[in-house]
Copies of this chain bind each other. A is one copy, B any other.
Amino acid sequence: PKVITLPGDGIGPEVTAAAVQVLREVAPDVTLEEHALGGGAYDAHGDPFPARTRDALAEADAVLLGTVGGAHDSAWNKLPRHLRPESGLLALRKALGCYANLRPVRVQPGLEHLSPLKPELARGVDILIVRELLGGIYFDGDRQIEGDSAYNTMRYTTAEVERVAKVAFWAAEQRKGRVTSVDKANVLEVSELWRRDVQALRDREYRSIHLNHEYVDSVAMLIVADPSRYDVIVTENLFGDILSDLAAVIPGSLGLMPSASLGDGPGLFEPIHGSAPDIAGKGVANPAAAIMSVGMLLRHGLERPDAANQVDRAVALALREQPTRDLGGQADTRTFTRAVMRALG
């Protein structure tokens, strides 16, 4: 099998190098091919999602991404929107057809103290957020800024709702069997459709799943006040962007948060943290999330659950033995990666 790596910007190359080292170890038969994406790709090729990168996807079984983007005041952010690093990422998602973004939020036993929440609230949290990734207000072509007025359109079709809801139900079947669908149906028509279609699909094809519906404002509260009430959360693109980042603070470090984006073609696997330009190139970035993304790649991209479990266990061990600086420890990127490699072999 072939994996395309897209190290990207900032700390992306460092954490991807660590992840690649782990991937080579547990899946030596995988072919790796590196390509450009993001700000660096724009600098080199005039396009944050160059044609050569796009073409390479055709042969990929999975894609491993680092991070894209620069500092707040970076020159990249002054480019026209379609040339900015983020546009490269959005175009990549679109090209891959990855409509379901899976973000597991798990508080590792023994690491409760890292959470901003009280330990008794953080303990045992294990949520999977399934975010719709190709629809809604992100991609709809009916958008405009002109003079003193601007708008965007949040649109969904039944087909878009159903395909992502299926992923959520399928995931819940392998977990506690509970799905919370999040919307703003008391105000938005597009949420009314969402709620109706998720419920109809459950009633038609997933009767063993316990489904409930909650409003996005209420979920934003409860995910902090009582995170253990959630198993799988499924929601549309913009709400998912907000809620998945919110939930990601519960474990206490973004350095621990991998993600998988799945669709009809090859999956996209990436840590959810940003490019952290302030520490880029210093060798201190925590590569745990990138390595955990390799775990998700093995599980969902290459269907190798045993290798995935191996990676997950090795990361958990290394986190206890060699915590990185963001976790209050001392380990730099290399030391942590070495601890993972040791735990693997």
Q: How far is the CB of A165 from chain B (nearest CB, A)?
A: 14
Interface size on A, residues (CB 8 A): 54
Is A209 positioned at the interface, with any CB of B under 8 Å from its CB? no
> In this assembly, does A211 line the interface, its C-beta being within 8 Å of a C-beta of chain B?
no
Are the CB atoms of B220 and A137 closer together than 8 Å?
A: no
* A51 located at the interface, meaning its Cβ lies under 8 Å from any Cβ of chain B in the complex: no
Is A34 part of the binding interface, using a Cβ–Cβ cutoff of 8 Å?
A: no
Q: A147-183 vs B: 1/0 string, CB under 8 Å?
A: 0111111111111000000000000000000000000
| A217, CB-defined interface residue at 8 Å | yes
A139–B188 Cα distance when bound, in Å, is: 9
Note all chain B residues with C-beta closer than 8 A to A24.
Answer: none
Q: A189-B143, A220-B220 are in contact. Are A158 and B149 (CB under 8 A)?
A: yes
Q: How far is the CB of A271 from chain B (nearest CB, A)?
A: 15
Interface-facing stretch out of A6-14, A15-23, A116-124, A329-337: A116-124
What residues of B have a CB within 8 angstroms of the CB of A221 in the complex? Answer: 245-246, 248-249, 254
Q: Check if B242 sits within 8 Å of A220, measured CB to CB.
A: yes
A225 at the interface (CB under 8 A from B): yes
**Given A137-B154, A152-B154, A145 contacting B189 (CB threshold 8 A):** yes
Give bound CA distance, A159 to B160, whole Å: 35
Partner of A216, one of B150, B155, B242: B242
Confirm or deny: A218 has a beta carbon within 8 angstroms of a beta carbon on chain B.
Answer: yes
Q: Is A190 an interface residue (CB 8 A)?
A: yes
Q: Which residues of B contact A193 (CB under 8 A)?
A: 145, 148-150
B153 & A153 in contact (Cβ 8 Å cutoff): yes
In the complex, A142 Cα to B189 Cα: how many Å? 11
Q: Are B145 and A150 in contact (CB under 8 A)?
A: no
A187 and B138 form a contact (CB under 8 A): yes
Chain A residues 240-262 with CB under 8 Å of chain B are 241-246, 248-249, 254
Q: Does A86 contact B (CB under 8 A)?
A: yes
Q: CA separation between A116 and B149, bound complex, in Å?
A: 40
A225–B190 touching, CB < 8 Å = no
Question: Is A184 part of the binding interface, using a Cβ–Cβ cutoff of 8 Å?
Answer: yes
- When distances are taken between beta carbons in the complex, the residues of chain B under 8 Å from A217 are 241-242, 244-246
B156 and A150 within 8 A (CB) = yes
Given A116-B117, A151-B155, A221-B245: 13 more A-B contacts, CB < 8 Å:
A84-B186, A117-B118, A138-B187, A142-B151, A145-B193, A149-B155, A150-B155, A217-B246, A220-B246, A221-B249, A224-B224, A224-B249, A246-B246
* Contact sample, A vs B, 20 pairs, CB 8 Å cutoff: A137-B154, A142-B151, A143-B190, A145-B192, A149-B155, A149-B157, A149-B193, A151-B155, A151-B189, A151-B190, A152-B190, A216-B241, A217-B242, A217-B244, A217-B245, A220-B243, A221-B248, A221-B249, A239-B242, A242-B242
Residues of chain A having any CB pair with chain B under 8 Å:
81, 84, 86, 90, 116-118, 121, 137-138, 140, 142-145, 148-159, 184, 186-190, 192-194, 216-218, 220-221, 224-225, 238-239, 241-246, 248-249, 254
